[in-house]
Amino acid sequence: MIAYLKSLLVTLFIGLFLLVSSNHGWAKEEALRYHRKPIELEEMKQYQYIMFTIKNFESINKGMTEEEVLNLLGKPLNMKKEHRRYNRWTVHYFYPDGHVVNFRNGVVVGKE
């Protein structure tokens, strides 16, 4: 009976260890994906020749990354970034005629 309980405890411990270690990797990946510093205007030179169009602006959807938006709309005329608590960011890209794309933690949350 004691040998059975010992083997059960070892099995539970190993299972718990595997569960915790696999979730830790996921949490680290999520942290890298959503808590990195926003792209600076100076780093957007490769997108400066992409022309802004209303058609491309209309194709912007929630959840798109900064790079996906830049590939569609090109370099914004201006941007505003706000560093929030826990190393999170809110960013606004300003395009011609008052069009704005809003990001939170690296992904689109809305457009105006």
Q: What CATH number corresponds to the domain at position 77?
A: 3.30.1450.10
Residue 32 scores a pLDDT above 60: no
Q: What's the domain range around 97?
A: 35-111
pLDDT top residue among 83 and 32: 83
For the stretch 68-101, pLDDT in tens is 999 999 999 999 999 888 888 899 999 999 999 9
- pLDDT at position 87 is 80
CA distance 55 to 53: 5
8 Å CB contact between 103 and 91: yes
Residue 25 scores a pLDDT above 50: no
Q: How many domains does the chain have?
A: 1
Q: Is residue 16 part of a domain?
A: no
In the structure encoding, which two tokens stand for residue 57, read together? 């602006």
Q: Is residue 58 part of a domain?
A: yes
Q: Is residue 14 part of a domain?
A: no
Q: Is residue 95 part of a domain?
A: yes
| Structure confidence at residue 9 as a pLDDT band (50, 70, 90) | low
Residue 30 scores a pLDDT above 60: no
